[in-house]
Structure 1
């Protein structure tokens, strides 16, 4: 039975094979599966945790590719449906030797953006232990925001551990003020919050990890833990009790692609918590999976199996 669940927009990424060339000039592309929440579901599956992925795709070649890929990843697709009235989102991604790549999204009014609350009525949450939520899906449309809120409420009513990653995508919002207000309001409904240090500064006005953590711990009685992602520096965690700690990141010889690293962090944390690990052990694994993620092209290609994770630990 599935013990993990998430909701989001699956995407196809056409990644340039021409290094350090603009997307306009690039001529060769490779096709990969993408979408932040789906990345997490794939990573969880690789570490042996069965999960449910909720979304909708178009009745098109990209949609068919996504459904088949999700099945191959051994993720439950019962609630991954097709809709002939809308298309599947995709994006183009630059290949770079250093720094973050340029991306061009083609996702407006996608099938996932039109996933309605009524389509969640039959979902069985009886075996679910952890839910991964992201700030991307509710940013897609008014419909997806309402669907997200309905789903979050169902999770809370079922006493399921909810983990929220702000995953800011300013391009999806009308303006920054609305993005900040909505994301922080959504964060109130989860027990664990996973802001990146740069996201935290935008959302709380502070670049200090502890102040970012305090903001979320104080704004909601439901929030018990905040883990601030510090990139290559590791992570800072603070609990409602006041206990806090910082863990250093793992050294990486060469960064190939930073996209998907934050999702990999969530994979490490959530898989460890499902296995009964302590928060410190979970944050350590989160940093490890994030480090592995940046050493591969593609959004989720670098996520490890259990054996690969153990081998990585031994190397370090």
Structure 2
């Protein structure tokens, strides 16, 4: 059965002037992006069957995004097209370490205007659900995706969640944090970055990780860039180091990490923190490849590339 990824699809205009901020950049490259789409593409390239639930507009950028999704072999039957809406545009500049800075341009945006009555699916037709990012922070898409999540949980389907904080698009921080705590307590996998954690709790990952509620069998992963990631599983916390590579563009790294977790979870559900660490090591490998490439969707590696990368690492 297919994995269902949900949320926004955007056009990234990525600055070609590395190390320059947006005001200093004068050349941009157009790429398909959006955190949920990055996850979907990464899963597809790992050999998984994937469907996407979201909304696109009637503009040329939406048409571009729809064609990219089809080209990647992702099931588009759950994508709603509304001619009155437009795709969101994100302009991205990168610092010397490849860390992205975003500015969004949105006019009647399709990505956050998906309504509950527009969703026609049966959770039993899918093996897994991924939710998150800013489409869970803006109405009406927030209510839509929360209902989809609850429907999947009711029938016992596993769910992963990445808040993927975009502070400039969050309408109410209090509601966002409330949602974060509630969703985290229900789903199977919670993945977020140290920067996400800092926004939510104003504390470093080592202190804040204990404040995130998870199910007894829920997995929690906090990515920390070149420092690797922290895992919390069944009361145990473990650090998994990152692979050393030369960074180019960090766009999509966290999303590729999420895809790696989902892929390994579906291979074998972990029972120990060491199992969770193996999931994280595989996810770290995908992220290490992605950070050496430009762009979100285009940067996602194949399963063979990940396995070759891991085979060349010294244990």
1:135-146 matches, within 5 Å, as 135-139=133-137, 141-146=138-143
1:219-258 matches, within 5 Å, as 219=213, 221=215, 224-240=218-234, 242-252=235-245, 254-258=246-250
1:260 aligned to 241, 252, 255, which one?
252
- Greater mean deviation of Cα atoms: 286-295 or 299-308: 299-308
Deviation at 1:22, TM superposition (A): 4.4
1:149 paired residue number = 146
- Greater mean deviation of Cα atoms: 187-196 or 61-70: 187-196
2:268 paired residue number = 276
Are 1:90 and 2:89 counterparts? yes
Deviations 1:270-306 (A, max 9, x none): 1111122642221111111111111111013332111
Deviations 1:134-190 (A, max 9, x none): 132111x22111112111111111211111112111111235444323322332331
Deviations 1:3-54 (A, max 9, x none): x111111001122334444434544322110000000000000000011110
Query: How big is the alpha-carbon RMSD for the aligned residues of Structure 1 and Structure 2?
Result: 2.1
Any unmatched runs of 5+ in structure 1?
none
Query: For residues 178 and 125 of structure 1, what CA distance do their matches in structure 2 show?
Result: 26
Deviation at 1:78, TM superposition (A): 0.2
Deviation at 1:223, TM superposition (A): 6.3
Distance 1:200 1:17, change over 3 A: closer
Higher relative contact order (CA 8 A, sep 6+): 2
What's the TM-score once normalised by structure 1's chain length?
Answer: 0.90
Are 1:311 and 2:308 counterparts? yes
Query: For residues 216 and 190 of structure 2, what CA distance do their matches in structure 1 show?
Result: 11
Query: For residues 98 and 245 of structure 1, what CA distance do their matches in structure 2 show?
Result: 25
- Does the Cα contact within 8 Å between 1:190 and 1:222 map onto a contact in 2? no
2:130 paired residue number = 132
- Does the Cα contact within 8 Å between 1:52 and 1:76 map onto a contact in 2? yes
Task: Give secondary structure in 1 for the equivalent of 2:122.
Answer: coil
Deviations 1:70-93 (A, max 9, x none): 011111000112111111111122
Task: Give secondary structure in 1 for the equivalent of 2:299.
Answer: coil
1:215 paired residue number = 211
1:49-68 matches, within 5 Å, as 49-68=48-67
Distance 1:101 1:306, change over 3 A: closer
Task: Give secondary structure in 1 for the equivalent of 2:126.
Answer: coil
Query: For residues 48 and 220 of structure 1, what CA distance do their matches in structure 2 show?
Result: 29
Query: For residues 112 and 95 of structure 1, what CA distance do their matches in structure 2 show?
Result: 24
Any unmatched runs of 5+ in structure 2?
270-274
1:293 aligned to 267, 290, 295, which one?
290
Deviations 1:220-277 (A, max 9, x none): 547622112122121221223x23322111111x211111111111011111111226
1:168 paired residue number = 165
